[in-house]
Amino acid sequence: MTFLMSSVMMADITPAKQCATVLGAFDATIDWVLFAAPALALALYGPLGRIGPLFVLASIPAWLALPVAWPVQDTKPLAAAS
């Protein structure tokens, strides 16, 4: 659900001429992260021996994205329900 909503937001705020390029780069980044994150977690689990620090590490991107995503305004509000 999050991936779908982020793709919709990217399509909404991207200029029409750059939409294909930006969405392609966005999708490639998501695909790379979906591959790299589990590999990184497995590599770190061995030396750490616990899973707790991995959850803290996994939350860092969300905390970094929050100040970027928070001010984004909805450019195409939903139609009023009738």
15 class by beta-carbon count within 10 Å (0-12 exposed, 13-18 middle, 19+ buried): exposed
**DSSP character for 17?**
G
What was the pLDDT predicted at 77? 63
For the chain, the domains span 12-69
Evaluated on CA atoms 11, 13, 16, 17, the torsion sign reads negative
What was the pLDDT predicted at 47? 83
What was the pLDDT predicted at 56? 85
Low-confidence ranges of the chain (pLDDT < 50): 81-82
What was the pLDDT predicted at 34? 85
Strand, coil or helix: 38 = helix
Answer for the pair 5, 65: CB distance below 8 angstroms, yes or no: no
First to last CA, the chain: 26
Q: What is the pLDDT of residues 7-23, one digit of tens each?
A: 777 777 888 888 889 88
What was the pLDDT predicted at 80? 53
